[in-house]
Chains A and B, each alone.
Chain A
C-alpha cells in the first residue's frame, strides 16, 4: 500500500496530485481494487482482470441504431414537468429524441436494488432479454453479482466521448467497476443524518447523536443492510473497505444495543422521509437528495442534512446495459448524451443528487440568469449552491463507498446486520 492508497480513493486526482505529486493511472486503479479484495475476485472470475478476453467488439460490431430505447429507472429520478395538457413529460428525454431520433420507452420499475435484481435475475439466468436496454443500479452487492454473472454488456469507450471529457475525474476511478468497463454513473448521493432542529433542540453533527437516549423512539435507521452497516462502521471510526467480519459484528452489536434500548423507532426504507416530515422521527439516517425534496414539498426549510463528522457513505447509481438488450447502441448513445453539461444540468435541477458532470454548474448558473420567475430562480440557485449537488472537497474528504463484498462475504454481512434489522 502506498501513501495515496490510504486516502479516500475518490478524491479528485488534481487534489491528490498536489499532495503526493503522483497520479492515479488506470493500472493503479486496478491494483488498488485488487488490494481491496474484490478486484482480485472479479479477475479470478474473469470479469475485472486485464486477462479476461474482451467482449467489447463482439457486441458493438453488429449493434445498429434502432431508434428505440427501453430505459428502466427509479421512480422520480429524472427531470419532469407538466405540459399544457397536464401530462408529465421528461424534457431531457424529449430533447434526446429530438436530437437523435431515438424514442425512449421510459419506465420506473426499480424500487430498490435487491428486489429489482431478484426480478430480472431469473430472466437473465435463462439467457432471456430483460426487456430493458438501460438500467440504473447502485454500486453494491447486486452490481457485483451482475458483473460476476456476466450479465452486463461491456461498454465501448469510443462511444462515450462526453463521459471521458465531462465526468468528474473521481467517477473514472471507481473500485467496483475499474476503468468503467460496464457502467458509467447516473447520479451519486450521500448517506448521512437528517434532522429537524426545532425538534431535536440542537444542531446534529455526530453519528453518536443517533444513539442519544434523549431521542428515544424518535430515531430512524435504515433497513438496508448496506447503508446501515457501512454508516455504523464509519461512525465507529472503521474504514468499511478495510473492515473485517469481526468489525461487522462489533457494529451489529452497537446497533443491537441501540435497538434494545428503545432508541430506534423503526428501520425504514425510503419511507423514512415521510416519518421525518411528519415529525414521527426527529433524527434519521437519510439520503442527501431526499431532504431537499421534503423541504420543497412542505414549503419550508425545517429539515437539515449533515454528513456526520465521523464520515458518511457515498454511493453511485450507475447506468448499465443488461445482456440481451435489443437496442444497445441506442442505450450507449443515451449514456453519452446525458454527459453534456446542459443535459446534466437539466437533470440536476430536478433530481438534486450529486450530478456526475461538475460543469453542469455553469449551465445552471446560466439558467438562473435567464429565469424571471422568482420561485423558480430561488430553486435553481439552491441547486447550484447546494453542496449535496456539487459537493466540495470537504464533503468527499470523509465519505466512503460501501464495503465491497464477494458473494460469500455478502451472505455473512447480510446475516450479521439482518439479525439486528429484520426483527
Chain B
C-alpha cells in the first residue's frame, strides 16, 4: 500500500475521509442506527393497540428463546446442512472450471451466474413445480417403480435444504473458484515433479491453498441460509419453520415488535458469535478482498 509520504498536504490528509464519508455515513445511518433501534425496541413492552414503551423489558429474550427454540434449531440444521451440500457440490465443479475448463473458463462462470439473474422467488417457485409429488422429477421414477408411490420431497426438510443450497450456490462456488484460480500452477507442477501423484498434489498443495476460499464460501452461504425463510415457506412443510419466518411473522403479522426485535437480535448475536470465531481462525481478508 503506497502511502505518499511526500507532499502531505491538507487535501491529501482529508482525501480519504472525504472519499469514505458519504458511504460511511450511509452505512452508519442505515445499518448501525437501525441495529441500535432494534436493540431498544427489543426491550420495550406493551402491545400494538395501546402502544409500546421502553421499559428495560429483558423478558422478551428468554420468552423468545423459550417459545421458538425449535425454530432456531431448524435454522441451524437446514442452514448448516445446506452449506455443506453447497460446498460438496461446488468444490469439484469449481476445481474443474479453475484447472481444466481452459479457454471456456469464463463461459462456465457466466453459466453459474446466469440463472441468478432471475428473481429467486421465481426460481424457488419453479423448484416447487419440479419437486411436486407427481412432478417432472418424481413421476417418472414412480412410474418405473424406482420410488414407492408415497415418497415425497416437497414439504420436507430435504426440499428446504436443497432449496437453500441452490439459492446461495454462487456465494459458495465463486470464492472457492477464486482461491483455486489463484493457486500458482508452478507449485502444482513442482509437486508433480517431486513424485507426488495427482491425489497427493490435490491433498497437499491445492486443497490447503483453497481453504481460505472454502471458508469465505461457508460464511457467505451459511449466514444467509440460516436466516432465510422464503425457501422454507415455499418448499417446506409441517415442522420446518425457521426462525427467520417467525421474526417476519411477529413483525408483519402479529405486530409484536418487541418480541420480534428480540428474536432478530438473538439471531444476529448468534451469527456474530460464529463470525468472531471465524475471524479468530482465519481473519476476514478473504471476504473483504484484502
Direct contact of A and B (CB under 8 A): yes
A257 within 8 A of B: no
Cα-based distance from A148 to B47 in the complex (angstroms): 14
Residues of A in contact with B, size category: 20 to 34
Interface contact B133-A279, CB-CB below 8 Å? yes
Known contacts: A118-B252, A121-B255. The answer to whether A266 contacts B48 by CB under 8 A is no
| Residues of A close to B115: CB separation below 8 A | none
Q: How many Å lie between the Cα of A115 and that of B252 in the bound state?
A: 5
Q: 1/0 contact trace for B132-143 toward A, CB 8 Å?
A: 111100000000
- B131 nearest CB across to chain A (Å): 9
Closest chain A residue to B128 by CB distance?
A: A274
Instruction: Determine the chain B residues whose CB is within 8 A of the CB of A267 once the complex forms.
Output: 238
The distance from the CB of B49 to the nearest CB of chain A, in whole angstroms, is: 5
Q: Quick one: CB contact mask for A389-403 with B, threshold 8 Å, 1 for yes?
A: 000000000000000
B53: min CB distance to chain A, Å: 14
Q: Name the interface residues of A133-184: CB closer than 8 Å to any CB of B.
A: 145, 148-149
Which residues does chain B contribute within 8 Å of A265, judged by CB atoms? 155, 237-238
Q: Give Cα A274–Cα B132 distance, bound, in whole angstroms.
A: 10
Instruction: Considering the complex, give the chain B residue whose CB is closest to the CB of A266.
Output: B237
A121 touches B241 (CB 8 A): no
B152 to A217, Cβ gap below 8 A?
yes
Complex Cα spacing A61 to B224, Å: 54
**Partner among A112, A119, A280 whose Cβ is within 8 Å of the Cβ of B155:** A280
A229, B73: Cα distance in complex, Å: 27
A385 at the interface (CB under 8 A from B): no
A265 to B152, CA, bound (A): 10
Q: Mark B64-108, 1 if CB is under 8 A from A, else 0.
A: 000100110000000000000000000000000000000000000
- B173-181, B199-207, B243-251 - interface stretch: B243-251
CB atoms of B245 and A423 under 8 A apart = no
In the complex, A264 has a CB within 8 A of chain B: yes
- B246: chain A residues at CB < 8 Å are 422
Knowing A264-B238, A267-B238, A423-B238, say if A280 contacts B154 (CB, 8 Å): yes
Q: Does A336 contact B (CB under 8 A)?
A: no
B49, B132, B236, B237: residue with the most chain A Cβ atoms closer than 10 Å: B49
B157–chain A nearest beta-carbon distance, Å: 12
Which one of A114, A148, A266, A278 has the greatest number of beta carbons of chain B within 10 Å? A266
B254 in the interface, Cβ–Cβ < 8 Å? Answer: yes
B283 at interface, CB cutoff 8 A: no
Chain A residues with CB under 8 Å of B135's CB are 278
Q: At the interface, yes or no: A407 with Cβ under 8 Å from chain B?
A: yes
Contacts of B133 in A (CB 8 A): 278-280
Query: Across the interface, which residues of B come within 8 angstroms of A271, CB to CB?
Result: 234
Q: How far is the CA of A267 from the CA of B48 in the complex (A)?
A: 26
Q: A278-B133, A279-B133, A423-B70 are in contact. Are A411 and B47 (CB under 8 A)?
A: yes
A414 interface contact, C-beta 8 A: yes
Nearest residue (CB) in B for A259 is: B238
Q: How far does the alpha carbon of A149 sit from the alpha carbon of B238 in the complex, in Å?
A: 35
Provided the pairs A148-B49, A278-B133, A280-B132 are in contact, do residues A118 and B238 lie with their beta carbons within 8 angstroms?
no
Q: Confirm or deny: B146 has a beta carbon within 8 angstroms of a beta carbon on chain A.
A: no
User: Inside 8 A of B49's CB, which chain A residues have their CB?
Assistant: 145, 148-149, 407
Q: Is the CB of A423 within 8 A of B255?
A: no
Shortest distance in angstroms between B121's beta carbon and chain A's nearest beta carbon? 12
**Chain A contacts for B1, CB-based, 8 A:** none
Choose from A118, A407, A411 the contact partner of B253 (Cβ within 8 Å).
A118
| Chain A contacts for B254, CB-based, 8 A | 114, 414, 418
Quote the shortest CB–CB distance from A118 to chain B (angstroms). Answer: 5
Which residues in A have their C-beta under 8 angstroms from that of B71?
422-423
A114 touches B252 (CB 8 A): yes
A117 proximity list for chain B (CB < 8 A): 255
Contacts of A407 in B (CB 8 A): 47, 49
Q: Is B193 among interface residues, defined by CB-CB distance under 8 A?
A: no
Which residues from chain B contact A418 at a C-beta distance below 8 Å?
254
**B285 located at the interface, meaning its Cβ lies under 8 Å from any Cβ of chain A in the complex:** no
Write the nearest CB–CB distance from A306 to chain B, whole angstroms.
Answer: 23
- A164 CA to B252 CA in the complex, in Å? 36
Residues of B participating in the A interface, judged by any CB pair closer than 8 Å? 47-49, 67, 70-71, 128-129, 132-135, 150, 152, 154-155, 234, 236-239, 241, 245-246, 249, 251-255
Q: Lowest 4 A-B CB distances belong to which pairs? A: A114-B253, A266-B237, A278-B132, A266-B155
Q: Give A residues with C-beta under 8 Å from B.
A: 112, 114-115, 117-119, 121, 145, 148-149, 217, 259, 264-267, 271, 274, 278-280, 407, 411, 414, 418-419, 422-423
17 A-B contact pairs sorted by A residue (CB < 8 Å): A114-B254, A115-B252, A118-B252, A121-B48, A121-B255, A145-B49, A217-B150, A217-B152, A265-B238, A266-B155, A271-B234, A278-B129, A280-B133, A280-B154, A407-B47, A422-B249, A423-B241
